[in-house]
Amino acid sequence: MNRPGNVSSAAIYTGSAKHYHFKVMPVDTETSSYTPVKAPRGNTISCKGWQQEAAMRMLMNNLDEEVAERPRDLVVYGGTGRAARSWDCFHAIVNTLKSLDNDETLLVQSGKPVAVFRTHEYAPRVLICNSNLVGHWSNWDKFNELERAGLTMYGQMTAGSWIYIGSQGIIQGTFETFAAAAEKHFGGELEGKLIVSGGMGGMGGAQPLAATMTGACFLGIDVDPERIKKRLKTGYCDFMVNSLDEALRILKNAVRKKENISVGLVGNCADVIPELAERGVVPDILTDQTSAHDPLNGYVPNGMTFEAALELRKSDPHAYNERSLDSMARHVEGMLKLQKMGAVTFDYGNNIRTFAFQRGVKNAYDFPGFVPAYIRPLFCEGRGPFRWVALSGEPSDIHVTDELILQMYPQNRILSRWIDLARKRIKFQGLPSRICWLGYGERAEFGLAMNDLVKKGKIKAPIVIGRDHLDCGSVASPFRETEAMKDGSDAIADWPLLNALLNTASGASWVSIHNGGGVGIGYSQHAGQVTVADGTDEMAKRIERVLTNDPGIGVARHVDSGYDEAKSFAKEKGVKIPMGQ
């Protein structure tokens, strides 16, 4: 078994089409000296094709200091979600992509390049698997043991699949969720309403801007002041304060005037949320996006300073974990109290209810997850988080696509509002990018339209088209995306695996299969795809198939689960279901 610091090997194909030879390439798993990473821009490439170039640039973009939470440690977001297993692995991936032929496929095993095989031009250039463990051993304890041994890494969702685009990636999904909550509970309007949540990191940092874009006021709580400062710098958050009194003074005035103001409070949710209940301060909407999916490396226990907590994490991981779980229980108890007092309360998918339940909070599931509460009807139509990135590095290319999508879907009120607001409020991190929610049929239509713009030179370089793993047919996550499925199929993991196989067969540029994203090791299985619009007719064929089939399996998944709206949609759109609808 390899240990940190040992030299392992990666087998790289070096032969012809008829003869396969492998050379052993040393990969030192020790962390090399850190040099900031920034993806190349423009239309000059250093790889043998745009598929490889795009994969390389997106890997680098994940670790751009404007994008990643802790790029020095290869951590992109979500506690310990990494883009590569070590810096030596990162450099080996980059070097391999530069030499990869247009009919070869690189295999990446939990952030380490392990082999290159000759496939065909239509095949993905990269296949990625992250954090996957055999069921019986799929838990944090075993994962941490294997990670310490240098054998795996946590890929989160879009960190280890090289399609993270900074906080904007979750802003739009959060915007969709808040907008859906507004429609369900507040007549579609959130002006003069207060949203409270925890977590201001790579995922949670999207919340203040998403909230104010819907017209609401927002209070975000985080123990790490640097995370809040980063949101101030990017314009995602308006104010940073160190006391609840100061936060409430600002917010009460803003709510009264119906101003959409966001405040970041340096504090611990396990202290602040119960205190809100004790004071009788009831938010209109209450949720949480702390990194509770990882009790050791993500969540921070209360009752100690942030610095002391970080020290305890290193010196006594077991004690830290126990204190972290106790804090989650207190945190959820506070949320339950506020729910009883009238707050619309939901879990945003970080598994905090599960850990609180295990810690004795027997009614932890009294508030629902956001997917069954608000998002599932969208999933039934193959709707989900669709994102694209300008490899030119030119913001003007994204502006062209903004105009295109507004012209193509003028009837979509929420989409139009989002694009208009995003153009004004979103600051690009790393390579310019955009995200919105599109459904079955729309994704392929828009992808082909962007490919045509590249072909005609109206966009300066190819566009990368991808999505979050949080999508209609690409994830099994019983405490999040597949919570409370109609037929009880919450934990069936066949669907994300079929999704990855289908996207591979359809011609995606790279495909990934992960375990544990969003909610932690053992609690989810999910898959991702990325496809490059390079302006060629060949890629147009692949784009049409991938962007039709990828959301199509989401429609099929919900038909199979018995959702009438999915059955009607599939029949209307001609999605073939062998055993009827």
Enumerate residues 6+ apart whose C-beta is below 8 A from 94.
56, 59, 60
Contact 167, 202 (CB under 8 A): yes
| Catalytic-residue membership of 436 | yes
CA distances from 121 to 15, 158, 574 (A): 17, 25, 29
- In whole angstroms, give the CA distance from residue 349 to residue 377: 17
Beta bridge partners of 463: 390, 533
Q: CA 528: distance to chain centroid?
A: 10
Whole-angstrom distance, CA of residue 419 vs CA of residue 434: 9
DSSP for residue 398:
H
DSSP 436-484: EEE-TTHHHHHHHHHHHHHHTTSSSS-EEEEE-S-SSSSEE-TTTTTTT
Q: How many CB atoms lie within 10 A of CB 301?
A: 24
| Residue type at 429 in one-letter notation | Q
Phi, psi for residue 82 in degrees, rounded to 5? -110, 160
322: tokens are 């126990």
The answer to whether 197 and 287 are in contact (CB under 8 A) is yes
Tokens 């907590």 belong to 309
| Residue 156 contacts residue 81 (beta carbons within 8 Å) | yes
Give me the count of residues in the chain. Answer: 581
Query: For residues 376 and 477, is the Cβ–Cβ distance under 8 A?
Result: no
- Report the C-alpha gap between 151 and 164 in whole angstroms: 23
- CA dist 186 and 369 (Å) reads 19
Tokens 């609180």 — which residue?
A: 356
Three-state DSSP state, 150: coil
Q: Can you list the pairs that 399-405 forms with residues at least 24 positions away whose Cβ atoms lie under 8 Å?
A: 399/423, 400/453, 400/458, 400/459, 401/434, 401/450, 401/453, 401/459, 401/463, 402/434, 404/446, 404/449, 404/450, 404/453, 405/436, 405/446
* C-alpha closest to that of 378 among 179, 185, 238, 529: 179
Any idea which residue has 């938010």 for tokens? 283
- Angle at alpha carbon of residue 400, lines to 396 and 401, rounded to 5°: 120
With tokens 């200091």, the residue in question is 65
Place of tokens 């932890």: 364
Choose among 219, 201, 192, 229: nearest CA to 67: 201
> In the structure encoding, which two tokens stand for residue 215, read together?
């017209």
Q: Please state, in angstroms and as integers, the Cα–Cα distance from residue 237 to each residue in 252, 326, 414, 575, following that order.
A: 17, 29, 22, 42
Q: Please pick, among 47, 89, 436, 472, the residue that the annotation labels catalytic.
A: 436
**Residues with active-site annotation:** 436
